[in-house]
Amino acid sequence: MSESDYDLFVIGAGSGGVRAARVSASYGAKVAVAEEYRVGGTCVIRGCVPKKLLVYGSHFSEDLEDGKNFGWTWENAHFDWTKLRDHVLGDVDRLNNAYMDTLKNHDVEMILERAEIAGPNEIKLASGKTVTAKTILVATGAWPDVPEFPGSEYMLTSNEMFHLEKLPETVIISGGGYIANEFAGIFNGLGSEVIVVNRSDVILRGYDESLRDRLLQIGTSKGITYKFNCTFDKIEKREDGALDVYMDGRDRPVVADVVLAATGRRPKVDGLGLENAGVETNEKGAIKVDEYSQTNVESIYAVGDVTDRVQLTPVAIREGQAFADTVFGDNPRTVDYDMIPSAVFSQPPIASVGLTEGEARSQYGNIKVYSSDFRAMRNVFADRAERSLYKMIVEATSEKILGLHMIGPEAPEILQAAAVAVKAGLTKQAFDDTVALHPSMSEELVLLK
């Protein structure tokens, strides 16, 4: 008989936790996963998946408009928010069930309640029961960080945006990062007035400047308002639910139905009982781990956003997989964090891998930049002014690719494939040697000047 109740107890059934649980169980470990909300985590339940569906849904307004030059007319085209919302939430239910089935099929025990660490090998469940495990994996993710000022409690976070009763007439979005730009595109596409308010003078800090400028220009031309170096003073709620939003010391408020806080996410460690086992965190509250995701306590590991390494789903999945291979698969593995592609599902989307021009210049000094600034064939035909921009940054002598950045229709779809070449260390010449696939947007990648 095992001395512990479980070989592995996972806290949090998100992308990282589910992968770690499933793979560890396939190696023969006795595994339990505790989840206080729904199985699937942020990405599936209130993040990437429902967000992408809303992006698709909102883009039809442009598609319908563009269809005119392609010979189509639509009489009385009408958008129904509740229909889209409920269909999206239905899909989330489907995925939630699929995740639960996967765990069940791998003999992972699901404990649908809150769990806290009670000691290096002990977990206390919300029901009051205490269980033991040889290894504990914390995969609790991250949670929206809402700034504090008078009335900030009236702000919503991305968590609630998928459940809105009705389509807002005016949305004010605080922040200029991923979530701000993605929801700005969604609500702009659905017909709401959108105001993006950021504390600094940039959007999407960390992405290449030319792409950020292009998104700003296109977003503005689509009717999104951007306010920079702007702070919130207070928000007051009227009896009818409308919000008076006071900004930048002005006496007159801007009236909005929804104010979204998209100001970053912090590791979800509150009430997790880390102190009961002496697990160390860093200054941001993230759990400190080594390259094998092991904390300072030998029996406790952590993966995903709670460690604040790279806050992306595919990274959490890789960390969960590497953990399982290392601890239960007798195959010690670490995650390679170099050249991780990323995308912002703004409209148009941005996709990127490697160094920005600014980063490459300061790290390498001697670089070359190749680019293509073009209007996609479909946009030309539809009389849409929107231009795409692709940029390749190479080391000047070897022409090895240091970074590849794109903004334009389907940029994430195109970049994922191109990122393989960049990750493999190929040069600009390898792209030039490849015959163009015509007519396509991706052919611009092998025709960069």
428 in a labelled binding site: no
Q: Does 183 bind ligand NDP (CB under 6 A)?
A: no
CA 12 to chain centre: 18
Q: In what order do the strands lie in the sheet with 243-247?
A: 232-237, 243-247, 254-256
- For the bound state, the minimum distance from the C-beta of residue 30 to ligand NDP, rounded and expressed in Å, comes to 33
Is 438 designated active site? Answer: yes
Q: Considering only residues 95, 125, 202, 230, which one is a binding residue for ligand NDP as defined by CB under 6 A?
A: 202
Q: How far is CA 367 from CA 89, 269, 363, 392, 396, in A?
A: 47, 42, 10, 10, 4
Spell out the residues 6+ positions from residue 219 whose beta carbon is closer than 8 angstroms to its own. Answer: 181, 184, 185, 188, 196, 226, 346, 347
The residue nearest ligand NDP at its CB is 177
Instruction: Measure the CA–CA gap between 32 and 122, rounded to whole angstroms.
Output: 13
Instruction: Measure the CA–CA gap between 61 and 64, rounded to whole angstroms.
Output: 5
Q: Which H or E element spans position 243?
A: strand 243-247
Spell out the residues 6+ positions from residue 271 whose beta carbon is closer than 8 angstroms to its own. Answer: 116
Q: Does 263 bind ligand NDP (CB under 6 A)?
A: yes
Q: Does 317 bind ligand NDP (CB under 6 A)?
A: no
Which one-letter DSSP state was computed for residue 432? H
Q: Does 179 bind ligand NDP (CB under 6 A)?
A: yes
Q: Of 134-153, which residues contact ligand NDP (CB under 6 A)? A: 147
Q: Does 162 bind ligand NDP (CB under 6 A)?
A: no
Q: Exposed, middle or buried: residue 412 (CB in 10 Å: 0-12, 13-18, 19+)?
A: middle
| Closer by beta carbon to ligand NDP, 214 or else 428 | 214
Q: Does 180 bind ligand NDP (CB under 6 A)?
A: yes
φ/ψ of residue 320, rounded to 5: -65, -40
180 in a labelled binding site: yes
Q: Does 314 bind ligand NDP (CB under 6 A)?
A: no
Q: Which window, 97-105, 295-303, 343-351, 427-435, contacts ligand NDP (CB under 6 A)?
A: 343-351
178 in a labelled binding site: yes
Pairing mode, if any, of strands 130-138 and 6-11? parallel
Q: Does 312 bind ligand NDP (CB under 6 A)?
A: yes
- The sign of the dihedral angle between the CA atoms of 40, 43, 48, 50 is positive
Q: Considering only residues 50, 177, 341, 354, which one is a binding residue for ligand NDP as defined by CB under 6 A?
A: 177
176 in a labelled binding site: yes
59, 106, 405, 438: the active-site residue:
438
129 in a labelled binding site: no
H helices, E strands: number in the chain? 13, 21
Instruction: Measure the CA–CA gap between 286 and 266, rounded to whole angstroms.
Output: 8
Q: Does 345 bind ligand NDP (CB under 6 A)?
A: yes
Q: Which H or E element spans position 387?
A: none
Q: Which window, 94-102, 185-193, 342-350, 396-404, contacts ligand NDP (CB under 6 A)?
A: 342-350
Q: Does 226 bind ligand NDP (CB under 6 A)?
A: no
Q: Does 253 bind ligand NDP (CB under 6 A)?
A: no
Q: Does 342 bind ligand NDP (CB under 6 A)?
A: yes
Q: Considering only residues 121, 135, 192, 311, which one is a binding residue for ligand NDP as defined by CB under 6 A?
A: 311
- For the bound state, the minimum distance from the C-beta of residue 174 to ligand NDP, rounded and expressed in Å, comes to 6
| Closer by beta carbon to ligand NDP, 6 or else 232 | 232
Instruction: Measure the CA–CA gap between 226 and 346, rounded to whole angstroms.
Output: 14
Enzyme catalytic residues: 438
Q: Which residues are annotated as a binding site?
A: 52, 175-182, 264, 305
Using CB under 6 A, list all residues that contact ligand NDP. 147, 174-180, 182, 198-200, 202, 205, 262-265, 311-312, 342-345
Q: Which residues are annotated as a binding site for FAD?
A: 52
Q: Which residues are annotated as a binding site for NAD(+)?
A: 175-182, 264, 305
